Chains A and B, each alone.
Chain A
Amino acid sequence: VRVRRPARLTTLGARLLRMRSALPSRGPENLQRPPLGPASRLGIPRPAMTAHSFALPVIIFTTFWGLIGIAGPWFVPKGPNRGVIITMLVATAVCCYLFWLIAILAQLNPLFGPQLKNETIWYVRFLWE
């Protein structure tokens, strides 16, 4: 397939174009994405973009930090430093959990998407998927 090269193409874009022209053309009518992207031709099996659930990470991390912060204090051995160690465990669990939670909540319902350069779009489209 001959592709008209635009004037402002960089070397990276040129290389991508050469790769892309080696692949079968994928028009906009082809909405079914294969489970493995074209990068598999290079021998690297890469999964396509998978949908991330929200509930699963919440359950996992809540359990994890809950174990550390709520169950952990029961297992601290008796000694002069028991109080300090319990304080440390609870504080660590609270801080880290809160920080992770803020990060995931902020991305739950994005109001705008990333603005990418055209080269990046080429690259990501054909190498990540």
Chain B
Amino acid sequence: MGSMFRSEEVALVQLFLPTAAAYTCVSRLGELGLVEFRDLNASVSAFQRRFVVDVRRCEELEKTFTFLQEEVQRAGLVLPPPEGRLPAPPPRDLLRIQEETERLAQELRDVRGNQQALRVQLHQLQLHAAVLGQGHSPQLAATHTYGASERTPLLQAPGGPHQDLRVNFVAGAVEPHKAPALERLLWRACRGFLIASFRELERPLEHPVTGEPATWMTFLISYWGEQIGQKIRKITDCFHCHIFPFLEQEEARRAALQQQSQELQEVLGETERFLSQVLGRVQQLLPPAQVQVRKMKAVYLALNQCSMSTTHKCLIAETWCAARDLPALQEALRDSSMEEGVSAVAHRIPSRDMPPTLIRTNRFTASFQGIVDAYGVGRYQEVNPAPYTIVTFPFLFAVMFGDVGHGLLMFLFALAMVLAENRPAMKAAQNEIWQTFFGGRYLLLLMGLFSVYTGFIYNECFSRASSIFPSGWSVAAMANQSGWSDAFLAQHTMLTLDPNVTGVFLGPYPFGIDPIWSLAANHLSFLNSFKMKMSVILGVVHMAFGVVLGVFNHMHFGQRHRLLLETLPELTFLLGLFGYLVFLVIYKWLRVSATNAASAPSILIHFINMFLFSHSPTNRPLYPRQEVVQAMLVVLALAMVPVLLLGTPLHLLHRHRRRRRRPTGRKQEDKAGLLGLPDASVNCWGSDEEKAGGLEDEQEAELVPSEVFMHQAIHTIEFCLGCVSNTASYLRLWALSLAHAQLSEVLWAMVMRIGLGLGREVGVAAVVLVPIFATFAVMTVAILLVMEGLSAFLHALRLHWVEFQNKFYSGTGYKLSPFTFAAAED
């Protein structure tokens, strides 16, 4: 069979890496991605491991890298992706990378600091210039012309000596949102002793730190009195205003300010040019360095998982490796250690733990393996349901989705994705939903294809039936023989064709459902009966297939007793009861015809009476001696239950007791024969409980009877009750296909049919059909394709995960996740 039938053979391989070559060997292994390292130092904390210093150095470097990356991104530049093969650098290169990055980071910090300071200074200068330039002239003019009257206080100061009546000015700038509050506070505190005028700047200035433009408000406060002056200064301090000295003759001052600000801008320009140079160097250096340091850290983390040999000359590593890759592994080790002049070896050792599962997939089979693995990764070397799922999953989906038109749309969409899959635009898309659809393109392709087929069988294309072959029902024959004149037809709105009348039913439609049924009012009566029986038949076949797949598991794991004690009773139970139901259905289809349709036997009543051992007089038997046969089958099936319940545990107990009674030498011989060497794994006593107890059940030292009986009782109950409930569960095939057909029908009848029936004049219908068809198309895609598609997908998945897989699949394994740099490079 193909490689997907069960997991590949995975071996435990012990590597001896001489210390000089350990780093290069592990780095080479990371490039190849063949082996999964087992942690031999699990009991040691991360801080006490051998290479913790190197790991820490790498991590610090990564911190510096993050800082540099943020700076680059803040400047709006983009880091180019690294090109070429970048192997993990040898340890001595780490120092060089470290020095360079430190230097760059320091330069960057300095330059940024300078730039910041310069910008703050520039901002101040600009504010000062703006304040001085603001035309607070009316106020100034006022102080000049009405000097005398302004100098008298508006309110008589309460007593006291004559205060200083000279007018002073406070000029400054305040942030716009604080200006009203400042104004209010000044008014409340110093009312009557000051005049404040606020003006907004014409153009906004950039904030030095955040770079956001803000329009500042400049103010000029003229006041008199020393205490008022102090109050004003305190208030403006509170509001973080910038205060500048204000003198009345300002022209020279302003020119000086202009010159200063120009010089400052030149210096700032130079600084920014230098900054961009530094950033350019960072852009060149950073991407490859990041990749290299990441790889180096991964190598050190892997080396931390190895243990040191007693002579301290060698590192011992235990890895899981596919048996097929062992020669490649040995060659890689040989090559990379040859450079150092030493030789590293790898040899296989036996293991008692359950190895990880490895199933190689290509891009087509990967999505199907993915949906099986989503339930649970298979135990090592148990039968993999994925190769069968490639066909049965799309098929069961299609049974629930069957419509030629919808299937065709799905198929074309998937085909477009498949044909364009190698374009880089597809892989670079960030949208998660698109990525999900793209990842399942082969799944969608097959689902669409099978849906077209089942659509032809259900004879539905956007809910319309098509007559590829002429129908098997003749209306004319019925009309002629029953005397359906026009008057008769006018009086009766509904008339039924009777298959008993000769010439009415001319034979079964050769491919699918007869198109006459789509015109019939009792369309659903026929279809429901057909689809329910179809669901039960498909369900029983699917489940029987699952039980049969269990045979391969039993044979592979050497548990042949289970063939007789489990598989046979299970198949007898399932087929004896539900296989018999399928037989009844098919027998009735073949033998009961319309001639005695009124007294046609009801399968449901027969089935119920079979279990209750009772008899309905009105329900005639399908074949002679039916009751005897049914009674025998029920008794046989019930007899299988104790076999299933007690067979395997008794057999295991018996064998265990028999082995115990034999001389003990035989047992050791057995063990030695099976294992070869005494267990050479360094890690054998530290194994997890999940991984233990895989392959050789017979070698269990202790067999606890109660556990075995309990386990088997659970399995028996699960199987027997599951047979009934799972068979009924397959009726969802009927339910969903009915829902899909009805939704499709409603959409057609309510949207398109009304649209096609509108307007007798030429042209009206054409114009009206455009929005109507648009509605129809949008709703088809949204409701019928997306919603129903997801629904049918989910139910098909559930049928596989629960009803099919619980007959044979345990799914308690773990995947081989090899040590590779490919994941780290993302």
Contact = CB atoms under 8 A, between A and B. Distances in A.
B592 interface: yes
A82 interface: yes
A112 B477 CA distance: 16
Interface centre among A30, A56, A84, A96 (most CB of B within 10 A): A84
A129 to B, nearest CB: 4
Interface in B148-164: none
Interface in A1-29: 3-4, 6, 8-9, 17, 20, 28
A112 B511 contact: no
A100 B525 contact: no
B497 interface: yes
Contact of A108 (B395, B487, B590): B590
Contacts of A91: 388, 390-392, 395
Interface in A75-129: 80-88, 91-92, 95-96, 98-100, 102-118, 120-122, 124-125, 128-129
B589 A108 contact: yes
Contacts of B659: none
Contacts of B499: 110-113
A105 B541 CA distance: 17
A31 interface: yes
Contacts of A109: 589-594
Contact of A122 (B469, B483, B487, B489): B489
Contacts of B593: 109, 111
Contact of B473 (A8, A31, A114): A114
Contacts of A51: 506-507
B518 to A, nearest CB: 9
Contact of A30 (B480, B493, B498, B538): B480
B382 to A, nearest CB: 17
B392 A102 contact: no
B667 to A, nearest CB: 39
B418 to A, nearest CB: 16
A54 to B, nearest CB: 6
Contacts of B590: 105, 108-109
Contacts of B486: 3, 17, 20, 122
B254 interface: no
Contacts of B494: 115-118
Interface in B576-618: 586, 589-594, 597, 600
B95 interface: no
A49 B471 contact: yes
A18 to B, nearest CB: 12
B40 to A, nearest CB: 34
B509 interface: yes
B493 A117 contact: yes
Contacts of B513: 103, 107
B474 A129 contact: yes
A116 B592 contact: no
A120 B519 contact: yes
Given A115-B522, A118-B495, A122-B489, A103 B506 contact: no
A113 B534 contact: no
Nearest to B600: A111
A88 B334 CA distance: 41
Contacts of B480: 28, 30-31
A51 B484 CA distance: 22
Given A105-B589, A109-B593, A114 B508 contact: no
A35 interface: no
Interface string B447-473: 000000110010000000000011111
A85 B537 CA distance: 26
A52 B537 CA distance: 25
A85 B5 CA distance: 12
B509 A107 contact: yes
A52 B508 contact: yes
Given A3-B486, A83-B2, A121-B489, A54 B497 contact: no
A114 B496 contact: yes
B489 A114 contact: no
Given A57-B510, A83-B2, A114 B469 contact: no
Interface in B552-596: 586, 589-594
A121 B390 CA distance: 45
Given A83-B1, A116-B497, A116-B521, A107 B538 contact: no
Contacts of A53: 507
A114 B520 contact: yes
A83 B361 CA distance: 13
A80 B476 contact: no
Contacts of B762: none
Contacts of A125: 475-476, 479
B505 interface: yes
B533 A106 contact: yes
Given A106-B534, A113-B499, A122-B489, A84 B508 contact: no
A88 B391 contact: yes
A110 B505 contact: yes
A4 B3 CA distance: 76
Contacts of B3: 80, 83
A121 B594 contact: no
Interface string B363-404: 001000000000000000000000110111001000100000
A74 to B, nearest CB: 16
B512 interface: yes
Given A83-B387, A87-B387, A120-B519, A104 B489 contact: no
Contacts of B541: 98
B514 interface: yes
Contacts of A112: 496, 499, 522, 525-526, 594, 597
B390 A84 contact: yes
A113 B496 contact: yes
A3 B481 CA distance: 21
A80 B361 CA distance: 10
B259 interface: no
A92 B470 CA distance: 28
Interface in B640-674: none
B597 A114 contact: no
Contacts of A117: 493-494, 521
Interface string B130-141: 000000000000
Contact of A106 (B365, B496, B530): B530
Contacts of A3: 486
A113 B530 CA distance: 14
A54 B476 CA distance: 22
A100 B457 contact: yes
Given A49-B476, A50-B470, A87 B2 contact: yes
B178 interface: no
B469 A115 contact: no
Given A6-B490, A50-B506, A108-B589, A114 B517 contact: yes
A118 B507 contact: no
Q: Which 9 A-B pairs have the closest CB atoms?
A: A83-B2, A52-B507, A114-B520, A113-B497, A91-B391, A6-B490, A57-B510, A109-B593, A107-B508
Given A54-B508, A92-B391, 6 more contacts: A99-B538, A107-B530, A113-B504, A116-B497, A121-B489, A125-B479
Interface of A: 3-4, 6, 8-9, 17, 20, 28, 30-31, 33, 47-54, 56-57, 80-88, 91-92, 95-96, 98-100, 102-118, 120-122, 124-125, 128-129
5 contacts: A6-B491, A48-B470, A99-B453, A112-B496, A112-B522
